[in-house]
Structure 1
Amino acid sequence: MKRFQAIVHFEMDKDFMSLLPPHRTYINYLINKQVIDSYAVSMESQTVWITINALSKADADQYLAKSPLYPYWRYEIEELQIYDGQVFRMPTLQMN
């Protein structure tokens, strides 16, 4: 399994907001299935960053295409060589 970073740019309109609840349901489903590792949104720049576990870039693209917000998205997908962070580290040992 490989990891990919999707960088999504979007523009909102009145219909966009009505699609947010089913979109969030879909994203939560993918997080629970461990397909998505992280999902972050900036309203300031109207950008979304999604880290996806998939066999290929085409598979990652298929996950994105099933989102109700897909018609509003312009995005690129890049394969990640290294993906690291605090959540992947051993907990800090606390001496009593």
Structure 2
Amino acid sequence: MKKFQAIIHFEMDDEFMTFIPPHRTYINYLINKNIIESYAVSMESQTIWITFTADNKTEVDQYLTKSPLYKYWTYSIEELYVYDSQLYRLPTVQLN
């Protein structure tokens, strides 16, 4: 499995906020299935960054199109060559 970064820009209107609860339910489902590694949103720039574990870009695109917020998005998907984070590190040894 490979890692992909979806970079999503969104436009909000009056109806947008009504789709947030079902969207969060969908995102939580994908996180629980280990399909989404990380999810971050900036309201300042109206950008979302989602790191996916998938076989290819087409699979990531299929996940994105199922979101209730899809119609508000323009996005790109990039395959990641290196993906590192604190979660992949061994815990720090703490002596008693």
Coarse TM-score class (shorter-chain normalised)? over 0.9
Tell whether 2:91 aligns with 1:81: no
Displacement of 1:95: 1.1
Tell whether 2:15 aligns with 1:15: yes
Between the aligned partners of 1:38 and 1:8, the Cα distance in structure 2 is 14
Letter in 2 for 1:82: V
Q: Kindly report which structure 2 residues correspond to 1:61-76, keeping only aligned pairs within 5 A, or say none.
A: 61-76=61-76
Q: Which runs of 4+ in 1 moved over 6 A?
A: none
Letter in 1 for 2:73: W
- Computed over aligned residues only, the root mean square deviation of the Cα atoms, in angstroms, reads 0.4
Tell whether 2:90 aligns with 1:90: yes
Between the aligned partners of 1:31 and 1:2, the Cα distance in structure 2 is 16
Q: Which runs of 5+ in 1 are unaligned?
A: none
- Secondary structure, counterpart of 2:15 in structure 1: helix
TM-score by length of 2: 0.99
Between the aligned partners of 1:22 and 1:31, the Cα distance in structure 2 is 14
Aligned residues: 96
TM-score by length of 1: 0.99
